[in-house]
Structure 1
Amino acid sequence: MPSQLGDKLVIAISSRALFDLDDSHAVFEREGLEAYRLYQIAHEDEPLEPGEAFPLVQKLLRINSLLEGDSRVEVVLISRNSADTGLRVFNSIQHYGLGITRAAFAGGRSPFTYIPAFGCQLFLSTHAEDVRATLDAGFAAATILPAKRRPEQRDELRIAFDGDAVLFSDESEQVFQRDGLAAFQASEQASAHQPLRGGPFKAFLAALNRIQTEFPNEQCPIRTALVTARSAPAHERVIRTLREWNIRLDESLFLGGLDKSEFLQAFGADLFFDDQEGHCKRAVGVVPTGHVPHGISNLKSSSSA
């Protein structure tokens, strides 16, 4: 009987998010596909250096070792490489002892079409086009931004989320951008008992939360945080929405427009997801950051590009 991944937290990750492929990508940019293929074959026994999302993947896969005999997290490699050039990536996976056994090598084309087949709740990539296509198809995805930072030395996995257009729909953000702050606050206060619609990361947060419930609070290897520009009175609708969803966040920071960077550093996020490029550019200086190109803020930026 075929294996099923439906009861697991399934994360798809691109080869360039998992490993540092800058040198080989420079060969591709400079000399073309065939030179890239020959370069990867010539170096396929040399392990690649860890990429931006490597520590995150290590911590995700470590969760399986804490659940006695129950593998609850699956990481799948989704790559634009061919299997021929991807052999170096698989060799590097084995070198670091990562528990990644499934992969889709799309041979130069976008691999996002395989995300539904694997049942993935999240796709992490450095390729913005693939990320947008995945979001448009209704799955959580983020573009991992380069930072080259030394990871925190701890076992606990800490993930921080922006609210509007990430965990929640961008319905409230549309009011804010169209009518301003006062109208936004009034609208949220009037709708405090009306749950927000789910955003692209709702299913991913729910999957994380299901794993959290399998551990005693003091022994849970995952900690989550909401880091939002909202403040009172717009906080109430968020709290009631999460209650309606029966989803728990460990920490909630309502910053009222303050810069998020110092708060993310204090939380110690292994990855922070935000839809606004400005927030991401500031945050990437202190924590690993994924841009979520979703919602009205990104419609504006793409139309003006």
Structure 2
Amino acid sequence: MAVDLGDKLVVAISSRALFDLEESHRVFVEEGVEAYSRYQIEHEEVPLDPGMAFLLVRKLLAINTLSGDNPRVEVILLSRNSADTGLRVFNSIQHHGLTITRAAFSSGDPPYRYVAAFGAHLFLSAEPGDVRAALEAGCAAATIIPARTEHPDEGPPGPLRIAFDGDAVLFSDEAERVFKTEGLARFAESERSAARTPLAGGPFKNFLAALHRIQKEYPDPAHAPIRTALVTARSAPAHERVIRTLRAWDIRIDEAIFLGGMDKGEFLRVFGADIFFDDQQGHVESAARHVTAGHVPHGVANES
């Protein structure tokens, strides 16, 4: 009987986001496919070092240790390697003790095509083109940006902490379009008048909902293995529509920080985010001074 991952949180990740493949990638860029293939086969017994999303993946998989015989998280590897050159990646997964058993090796073709087939709620990659294509196909996706700060080997202690921007990430970019085209005063007026009209969902709504399903298994939030935060440039009176939207979705978010345009980085450090998702490159760069960040190239802020 076919295996169904429908009751799990499914995260797909590229091999370059999971492991440090920069030296291998240099060989590929400078010397070509055949040299890259020889290099990977010659080094396939040499474990790869952790990459940008390694600690995040470790904390995701650690949730399964709390759920007994019903693992709640599945991590899928998606890679542009061939199965031949990808053997080093699988050997590295085993070396680091990661319980990743499913993968797709696409031999140079874009691997994001398999995101929907695996039922993934999130795709993380170091390749912006694959991220954009995954978003266009309807999947939450982000280009991962490493934190420019030192982390302990095991990552921050405690639950997995995930922070989100609001407009164009959790929510549609309808309100942000008003701000971009008509200014702050019109944005505030529009959001005040629409306070009781829920915002449409953005690309990360389903991912947040999947996180929330796991959280609901822990009635006491203090014991939940996941903690979420909304970190937004909004302030009063634009806060009300956001709160009512999450209420309409029946989704709990643990912390909400309305910054009114203040820099987000320090607040993400205080929250202890394992990763923060934002559609605006400037906010991502600010966040990356403190925490790992994911750029979501979606919405009006990313239209040329």
Which TM-score band applies after superposition, normalised by the shorter structure?
A: over 0.9
Counterpart position of 1:47: 47
Counterpart position of 2:210: 207
Counterpart position of 2:165: 162
The residue matched to 1:74 in structure 2 has which SS?
Answer: strand
Counterpart position of 2:229: 225
Cα shift at 1:147: 3.8
Counterpart position of 2:281: 277
Cα shift at 1:250: 0.3
Aligned counterparts, 1:133-282, within 5 A? 133-147=133-147, 149-151=149-151, 152-215=155-218, 216-282=220-286
**1:153 is matched by which residue type in structure 2?**
P
**Inter-CA distance 112–157: structure 2 relative to 1 (3 Å threshold):** same
The residue matched to 1:83 in structure 2 has which SS?
Answer: coil
Match of 2:291 among 283, 287, 290: 287
Cα shift at 1:249: 0.5
CA contact (8 A) 2:27 2:36 kept: yes
CA RMSD of aligned residues (A): 0.9
Aligned residues: 300
Cα shift at 1:140: 0.0
**2:265 is matched by which residue type in structure 1?**
S
* 1:265-303 deviation per Cα after TM superposition (whole angstroms, max 9, x unaligned): 10010000000001111111110000000000001xxx2
* 1:109-148 deviation per Cα after TM superposition (whole angstroms, max 9, x unaligned): 1011111110000000000000000000111000001446
The residue matched to 2:76 in structure 1 has which SS?
Answer: strand
TM-score where L is the length of structure 1:
0.97
Write the distance in 2 (CA, Å) between the matches of 1:45 and 1:148: 29
Counterpart position of 2:75: 75
Cα shift at 1:69: 1.1
TM-score where L is the length of structure 2:
0.97
The residue matched to 2:116 in structure 1 has which SS?
Answer: helix
CA contact (8 A) 1:229 1:255 kept: yes
Larger helix share, 1 or 2: 1
Report % sequence identity.
66
**1:279 is matched by which residue type in structure 2?**
H
Write the distance in 2 (CA, Å) between the matches of 1:125 and 1:115: 12
CA contact (8 A) 1:52 1:148 kept: no
Counterpart position of 1:102: 102
Counterpart position of 1:84: 84
Question: Which stretch shifts more, 186-195 or 23-32?
Answer: 23-32
Counterpart position of 1:56: 56
**1:46 is matched by which residue type in structure 2?**
V
CA contact (8 A) 2:156 2:272 kept: no
Cα shift at 1:149: 4.0
Cα shift at 1:153: 3.4
**2:214 is matched by which residue type in structure 1?**
I
**1:227 is matched by which residue type in structure 2?**
V
**1:130 is matched by which residue type in structure 2?**
D
Unaligned runs of 5+ in 1: none
Cα shift at 1:181: 0.1
The residue matched to 2:124 in structure 1 has which SS?
Answer: strand
The residue matched to 1:175 in structure 2 has which SS?
Answer: helix
CA contact (8 A) 2:156 2:274 kept: no
The residue matched to 2:276 in structure 1 has which SS?
Answer: strand
Unaligned runs of 5+ in 2: none
Q: Which runs of at least 4 in structure 1 moved beyond 3 Å after TM superposition?
A: 146-150
Cα shift at 1:176: 0.2
